[in-house]
């Protein structure tokens, strides 16, 4: 798609149950969410009051990882699970360093499609594109992305705070392998992921509440997260708690050090 948001009535928004994209928007202080998202957001806050800090810390990881990749020569990004636009978006970070950077965004939630115009304001030298697709359909994503990205040259695959919404039954690890198999040597995987490693009881309660509301939450242990990078060369410092991955590339998020941030981040290079 290009240019403008679709007419509002062309996009079907289900407000009968919470959606991860809209809850995340609520935690980040956005306006593109509904009472059902806020209600579930508040239930999560009752279990873990630091969720809004976690959301900002995660977003800041995306900024730093994008910055590092662009500074290290990457000019093409495939970002799946983009979320509702929140400035700065990935292309704004990348194109600030490399105006010719090309970015394909992808999400399966119609609310992101409804606001996609904000993702499509590329620099004149670069390109941004939005695909409405599900990560569980990698063939469709690859086909769409190839219209904009040159798969003969390195691509950074960005899966930030996405795969904890994809279960093992849906083949989370196999999906990443499949997507990486399409990319040439010198490509990268950048990824963050929530974990139950530090707060097992609260995490179990949150998973159960979300499951009852129809949202899959597949929290993973550190070694399960590390397995997504199997066969890749991890960029220093390797798998880290998300705010400790190259903190020098951004500003600290207020409150990030006041307790545990239960999420991992890493960047790996395909040899
Ligand atoms: C927590 S948000 C993360 C947004 C952004 N990547 C960031 O970290 O700031 C997760 C996003 O993943 C999307 N998502 C969840 N399941 C998905 C799937 N199966 N396919 C594509 N996107 C999905 C949601 O709609 C939501 O926008």
At 56-86, the pLDDT tens digits run 999 999 999 999 999 999 999 999 999 999 9
| Whether residue 132 has its Cβ less than 6 Å from ligand 1 | no
Structural contact between residues 244 and 206, judged by C-beta atoms closer than 8 angstroms: no
**Residue pointed to by tokens 């991992």:** 264
76-80 and 156-160: which strand pairing?
parallel
**Measured from the CA of 109, which atom of ligand 1 is nearest?**
25
Residue 209: in which H helix or E strand, if any? helix 200-212
pLDDT of residue 159: 98
- Retrieve residue 197's tokens: 């490693």
Q: Which of 46-50, 55-59, 72-76, 126-130 has the lowest mean pLDDT?
A: 46-50
**Torsion of the alpha carbons at 108, 111, 64 and 176, rounded to the nearest 10:** -10
CA angle 215, 181, 190 (to 5 degrees): 55
With 60 as the cut, is the pLDDT of residue 5 above it? no
| Whether residue 165 has its Cβ less than 6 Å from ligand 1 | yes
- Residue with CA nearest ligand 1 atom 20: 134
CA 88 to chain CA centroid, Å, is 14
% of the chain with per-residue pLDDT over 70 = 96
pLDDT of residue 1: 45
pLDDT of residue 12: 85
- Name the residue with higher pLDDT: 12 or 242: 242
| Whether residue 59 has its Cβ less than 6 Å from ligand 1 | yes
CA angle 58, 141, 234 (to 5 degrees): 45
């Amino acid at each position: 798609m290009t240019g403008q948001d679709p007419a509002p009535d062309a996009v079907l928004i289900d407000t009968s149950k919470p959606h991860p994209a809209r809850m995340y928007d609520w935690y980040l202080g956005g306006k593109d969410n509904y009472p059902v998202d806020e209600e579930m957001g508040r239930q999560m806050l009752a279990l873990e009051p630091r969720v809004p800090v976690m959301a900002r810390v995660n977003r800041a990881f995306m900024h730093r990882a994008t910055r590092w990749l662009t500074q290290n020569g990457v000019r093409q990004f495939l970002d799946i699970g983009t979320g509702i636009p929140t400035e700065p978006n990935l292309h704004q970070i990348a194109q600030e360093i490399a105006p010719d950077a090309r970015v394909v965004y992808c999400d399966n939630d119609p609310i992101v499609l409804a606001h996609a115009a904000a993702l499509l304001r590329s620099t004149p030298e670069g390109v941004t594109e939005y695909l409405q697709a599900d990560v569980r359909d990698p063939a469709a994503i690859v086909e769409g992305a190839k219209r904009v990205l040159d798969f003969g040259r390195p691509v950074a695959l960005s899966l930030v705070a996405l795969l904890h919404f994809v279960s093992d039954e849906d083949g989370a690890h196999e999906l990443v392998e499949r997507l990486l198999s399409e990319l040439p040597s010198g490509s990268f995987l950048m990824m963050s992921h929530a974990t139950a490693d530090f707060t097992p009881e609260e995490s179990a309660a949150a998973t159960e509440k979300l499951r009852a509301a129809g949202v899959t939450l597949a929290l993973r242990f550190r070694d399960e997260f590390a397995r997504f990078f199997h066969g890749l060369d991890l960029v220093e410092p390797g798998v880290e708690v998300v705010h400790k991955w190259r903190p020098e590339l951004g500003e600290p998020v207020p409150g990030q050090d006041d307790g545990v941030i239960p999420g991992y981040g890493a960047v790996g290079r395909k040899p």
